[in-house]
Amino acid sequence: MQVVTMLLGVLCVLVVLLDAFQTIILPRRAAGRLRLTRIFYILTWMPWRLVAVRIRHPRKRETALSFYGPLSLIFLLVVWACGMVLGYSLIYYSLGSPFSDASEHIGYLSDLYVSGTNFFTLGLGDVTPHAQIARALSTCEAGTGFGFLAIVMGYFPVLYGAFSRREVSISLLDARAGSPPTAAELLRRHSFDGAESALASLLSEWERWSAELLESHISYTLLCYFRSQHTNQSWLSALTAMLDTSALLIAGVRGHEARQAQLTFAMARHAVVDLAQVFSIKPKQDIPDRLPRESYEQLYKLLCQSGVSVCRDGESYERLRDLRALYESYAAALSEHLCMPLPPWMAEHRHKDNWLAVAKVRSQAEAANPEPNTIAEVIDQHHEF
């Protein structure tokens, strides 16, 4: 019995240390379906999501979902700490509880208490070891607990730094593609003279953003549960909107930015596919068509009216549909799992963009101070005769 208890204790400690190493330190996707962190998120996210989706008010529902990411990080730390304390207490118990306690009879509860005080380096001294091996194990546990907590605490700034970098680009996209972002709105707002270079630069930035998202969210998967500041924004909707835009530029729009669109599409698709695989989510089949033929005709007319140079052949819809098949099923699976709605191709209802308060003030300034048309008008505005 003592041997079995010893093995269980050692196994418990090793499982926690390995899981924490893979979650925090290892800079690549963690392997294994029976990992402690993976089991923790499966057991906690499903009931949390089930309760949150029953909230009818969209903003309150999003607020409830946004609590999960930070709280899960705290509770995961608690699970790791409890696992370490439990493991060492079982080791102490298998050694016959080699401690002296003047207040009560020594038993497993005393072992558990000693393990907790050692792990959190309290050093109370009311229960003391009377065997050399107990002293060695107590020192080892204290060192393990100190190093473990230091590494985990140092993990927080890294995590929130990656989250902040992700959200900056999502916020910048608001003024360029609407709230929520759509491919139609992004192209419409880039239909001015000389917009090709601006659009190519934007696509290049989002190629890098997709690569950073892939690296950070595979290494720190729990970042996927961290939600954006606004209800109508999310990292998944932004990623999908850029995939939609890139696919549309490749399949149905003429221009030099199509080259950069291919690079952005490849990187963004790589990110959405790999993240779906991290969650072991299969591509969702038989999903509703986000862009049926009738909606594509409306999109085509909107782009033509905005001055976008669209392709005139009749095969553009089929080309676009082939490209959409490469990523939409994965995006839909992530959308269902994370409760993050995918953006439409065109704004279904007129939403007020988050940045329009500034635009309104600028419009008022331009209306009150129209640009002069002649040199005489310029002189009149600066001099009084």
Encode pLDDT of 265-324 as tens digits. Answer: 999 999 999 999 988 889 988 888 999 999 988 988 888 888 887 877 778 889 999 999
What are the pLDDT digits (tens) for 167-222? 999 999 988 898 889 999 999 888 877 778 889 999 999 999 999 999 999 888 88
**Residue 354 pLDDT > 60, yes or no?**
no
Residue 381 confidence (pLDDT): 45
Give the pLDDT of residue 271.
96
- Has residue 155 got a pLDDT over 90? no
The span from the first CA to the last CA of the chain, in angstroms, equals 106
Which runs of consecutive H residues, i.e. helices, occur in 131-256?
132-177, 183-188, 195-219, 235-252
**What is the CB neighbour count within 10 angstroms for residue 108?**
13
pTM for the full model? 0.83
* Average pLDDT across the chain, whole number: 85
Using one digit for the tens of pLDDT, what is the confidence trace for 173-185? 988 898 889 999 9
pLDDT at 209: 96
Output phi, psi for 309, to 5 deg. -85, 90
Q: Which two tokens mark 362?
A: 């600028």
Q: With cut-offs at 50, 70 and 90, classify the pLDDT of residue 30.
A: low
Given a cut of 50, whether residue 48 has pLDDT beyond it is yes
Whole-number pLDDT of residue 110: 84
Q: What is the pLDDT of residue 20?
A: 87
Band (pLDDT 50/70/90 cuts) for residue 223 is very high
Which amino acid is located at 324 in the chain? R
Give the pLDDT score at 127.
80
Residue 310: alpha-carbon gap to chain centroid: 34
pLDDT of 321 reads 92
- The residue to which tokens 């310029």 are assigned: 378
The pLDDT of residue 377 is: 45
Identify the CA nearest to 218 among candidates 21, 29, 23.
29
Are 369 and 319 in contact, with CB atoms under 8 Å apart? Answer: no
Give the per-residue pLDDT at 227.
92
DSSP H/E element including 99: strand 99-101
d(CA 310, CA 317): 12
pLDDT value, residue 331: 96
Q: How many CA atoms lie within 13 A of 199 on its CB side?
A: 28
Nearest to 68 by CA among 96, 93, 45, 37: 45
Closest listed residue to residue 83, CA positions, set 27, 31, 134, 18:
18
